[in-house]
Amino acid sequence: MSTRKSTLSREIVSQAVKQAFVKLDPRIMMRNPVMFVVEVGFLITLFLLFVPNAFGGTVTTGFNASVALVLLFTVLFANFAEALAEGRGKAQADSLKKTKKEISANKVTGQGVKTVSSTELRKGDVVIVAQGEMIPGDGEVIEGLASVDESAITGESAPVIKEAGGDFSSVTGGTRVISDQIKVRITSDPGESFLDRMISLVEGAKRQKTPNEIALNTVLVSLTIIFLLVVITLPFFADYLNIRLEIPVLIALLVCLIPTTIGGLLSAIGIAGMDRVTQFNVLAMSGKAVEASGDINTIILDKTGTITYGNRMASEFVPAENYSAQEVAMWAAISSVKDETPEGRSVLELLNKQGLSFPEKLAEGAEFIEFKAETRMSGVDLQDGRKVRKGAVDAVKQWVAEQGGFIPKGFQESSDAIASAGGTPLAVAVDQTIFGLIYLKDTVKPGMRERFDQMRKMGIKTIMCTGDNPLTAATIAAEAGVDAFIAESKPEDKIAVIRREQAEGKLVAMTGDGTNDAPALAQADVGIAMNSGTVAAKEAANMVDLDSDPSKIIEVVSIGKQLLMTRGALTTFSIANDIAKYFAIIPAMFMVAIPEMKVLNIMGLHSPLSAILSALIFNAIIIPLLIPLAMKGVAYKPMSSSRLLSRNLLIYGLGGVIVPFIGIKLIDLLVQFMV
């Protein structure tokens, strides 16, 4: 697996500094109401610098100037956080844009092949791409086979085979054919290609606030409005007590009380979360998909290729009663002559390895019966009329029975023995006669049990869906440690499982690559399609894994969880912080008029003005201090949501109350010399 690593280069940081100023534009700031209030506060204090008695009375110039400066930095820090989070994606988008240049394409027309620009290609056009040429647009191979270098998109240098028909037919514009020639039907119009989508995704151009973000934003705005009302009414009470509260003091109080920490970091957290997924070579079509993956309750996985290595290899020919292993081998080979699946090819390889051969003449002119997940069989219809099949044992048994054949003695026992060992038995039959079994071996990937244990600790249920028989399924399920399994499942059974779980109010994730996975991928709350898969699968899914590693779903879910946790942790921290600042400022404000308030000055801060300024400075610098946490995400240990919640409340809630007391006290020790 390759991960696209782009570190925070100096270039990105200096761009982010520039962007921090560009984003001061009130039209941009307005999108973030909490920080917009801070900016308005800055503008008022700035105005007061020039017209000190604008609102009656006078303000201390030095203090007012300090407040203005700190407020400006508060806004700049928040803008910088967002720009920094966006920076990585922008850099990546720039390198992708280089891939996306206009190239010439060999378009098939009524009058032969015509050279056109790639920008003129439309959905449905057919092009020919020869060795060394760049594929001019997204499409599906309709003729031929070629190896394709997809490194421009996936970062993976090993070429991949693309061929007409089946699950490896989709090609991406901007990748290069390095051997042979293919005919491709274009599947996207200009501006709507995979590369276009990828660029706008990593660039964040189409980034929309997710439902969770919108909900949190509403809470933050409500808090801001409440505190605004409190601060506006404060002068009336103060008047009654014969205290004059200066405008800069009120603004400082307001900014300390409103949730600026989370308000300033919220969008950076979201962007960084999506970026983490991208770094993992998974393209999320929306931030919503990434978030949803953090809330997943159930993961549907298939067995072959996800939990096991998937290179299910024939390892033994097991004869039925009255037949020899050579006979099984011969019919198994004949049934596999045109079977291009890994299973089919492995049968011929085993035959060679055993030094056996089969009468190739017999298979000449035979009609190929392709393997289908629905029939769970493959084979050939010979010219002499005989039908040769191999396939799942129950499927072949039924096929044989339909033709009046019978099941040999001891056959079921042989089959069960293979299945109980975790292997896949394939029955081999000619018309009504069962000749024996092919023993397909597959191995569970290492570390699966640990991963599923982690999932369980997070409260996530894992269900393995497989087309294999119940015995094999049970063995592999036990070995890998999944919570449940469904055997002999057909593609439509996956949808049924997803719907059943969703009906119980669960959020479901699944991976898939085939066209027949597309409906299930669309039905799932998080559907991850393999980049190697079909166009239909990729369009139905809301994420695409560029490495085509089906087990990556497990990491994607972890990243989603981490995103939600980071947001929760920083919200807790931010609000706890504001409470602490309240206790620093309020006593200081009234200390002058009401000496009894001194007892509340538990921090022993130097003076009322130094107290207010220290709180405001703390409020500003906590934002850049938390940027690394917002970008990297909080450290994450798998555990149940309720334990996680109480743990985070303890760390970030309590920490959020204690840290400002220490921070403000330290800042006050410095500030006292200035005011």
- Which parts are annotated binding residues? 339, 343, 371-378, 390, 513, 517
614 is an interface residue for K ion by CB under 5 A: no
Q: Are strands 182-186 and 139-149 parallel, antiparallel or unpaired?
A: antiparallel
Stretch that binds ligand ATP, among 15-23, 196-204, 375-383, 411-419 (CB under 6 A): 375-383
SS3 helix, strand, coil % of the chain, rounded to 5?
55, 15, 30
Q: How many chain residues bind Mg ion (CB under 5 A)?
A: 1
Q: How far is the CB of 464 from ligand ATP (least distance, A)?
A: 7
304 is an interface residue for Mg ion by CB under 5 A: yes
Interface of this chain with Mg ion, residues 129 to 188, rule: CB under 5 A: none
Q: Which of 523, 559, 548 has its CA nearest to residue 632? A: 559
467 is an interface residue for ligand ATP by CB under 6 A: yes
Among 329, 426, 486, 520, binds ligand ATP (CB under 6 A): 426
Concatenated DSSP letters of 621-654: HHHHHHHHHHHH--------HHHHHHHHIIIIII
Task: Give pairs for 634-643: CB < 8 Å, separation 24+.
Answer: 634/562, 634/565, 634/566, 634/569, 636/558, 636/561, 636/562, 636/565, 638/454, 638/455, 638/457, 638/458, 638/558, 639/457, 639/458, 640/457, 640/458, 640/459, 641/458, 641/459
| Binding track over 571-610 against K ion, x by CB under 5 A | -------x--------------------------------
Q: How many chain residues bind ligand ATP (CB under 6 A)?
A: 22
Question: Considering CB distances under 5 to 8 angstroms, the limit depending on partner class, which of Mg ion, K ion, ligand ATP, none binds residue 454?
Answer: none
Give the nearest residue (CB) to K ion: 260
Q: Are 463 and 484 in contact (CB under 8 A)?
A: yes
Q: How far is the CB of 466 from ligand ATP (least distance, A)?
A: 4
Q: Which is nearer to ligand ATP, 39 or 302 (CB)?
A: 302
Among 466, 531, 566, 648, binds ligand ATP (CB under 6 A): 466
Beta bridge partners of 510: 300, 527
| Binding track over 381-420 against ligand ATP, x by CB under 6 A | ---------xxx----------------------------
Stretch that binds ligand ATP, among 154-162, 222-230, 302-310, 398-406 (CB under 6 A): 302-310
278 is an interface residue for K ion by CB under 5 A: no
Question: Considering CB distances under 5 to 8 angstroms, the limit depending on partner class, which of ligand ATP, K ion, Mg ion, none binds residue 260?
Answer: K ion
Q: How far is the CB of 454 from K ion (least distance, A)?
A: 36
Q: How far is the CB of 221 from ligand ATP (least distance, A)?
A: 48
Q: How far is the CB of 356 from ligand ATP (least distance, A)?
A: 19
Q: How many chain residues bind K ion (CB under 5 A)?
A: 3
Stretch that binds ligand ATP, among 65-73, 300-308, 411-419, 498-506 (CB under 6 A): 300-308
Residues 6+ apart with CB under 8 A from 415: 393, 425, 427, 437, 469
Beta bridge partners of 621: none
> Which of these is catalytic: 125, 302, 442, 545?
302
Q: How far is the CB of 475 from K ion (least distance, A)?
A: 57
Among 79, 172, 260, 466, binds K ion (CB under 5 A): 260
Q: Which of 643, 648, 641 has its CA nearest to residue 295? A: 641
Stretch that binds ligand ATP, among 140-148, 257-265, 368-376, 429-437 (CB under 6 A): 368-376
Alpha carbon distance 302, 312 (integer Å): 14
Q: How many CA atoms lie within 13 A of 368 on its CB side?
A: 11
Concatenated DSSP letters of 450-491: HHHHHHHHTT-EEEEE-SS-HHHHHHHHHHHT-SEEE-S--H
Burial call 10-44: b when 16+ CB within 10 Å, e when fewer: eebeebbeebbeebeeeeebeebbbbbbbbebbeb
Interface of this chain with ligand ATP, residues 97 to 136, rule: CB under 6 A: none
- Could you give phi then psi for residue 142, rounded to 5 degrees? -110, -10
Handedness of CA 346, 350, 351, 353 (dihedral sign): positive
Residue numbering of the annotated binding site for Mg(2+): 513, 517
| Binding track over 474-503 against Mg ion, x by CB under 5 A | ------------------------------
Alpha carbon distance 68, 91 (integer Å): 34
Beta bridge partners of 127: 107, 184
Show the tokens assigned to 131: 């060795």
Residue numbering of the annotated binding site for ATP: 339, 343, 371-378, 390
Burial call 511-542: b when 16+ CB within 10 Å, e when fewer: bbbbbbbbbbbbbbbbbbbbbbbbbbbbbbbb
303 is an interface residue for ligand ATP by CB under 6 A: yes
Please indicate whether residue 302 is annotated as part of the active site: yes
Q: How far is the CB of 443 from ligand ATP (least distance, A)?
A: 14
* Residue ranges binding Mg ion (CB under 5 A): 304
* Residue ranges binding ligand ATP (CB under 6 A): 302-305, 339, 341, 343-344, 371, 373, 376-378, 390-392, 424, 426, 465-468
Active site residues: 302
* Residue ranges binding K ion (CB under 5 A): 260, 578, 619
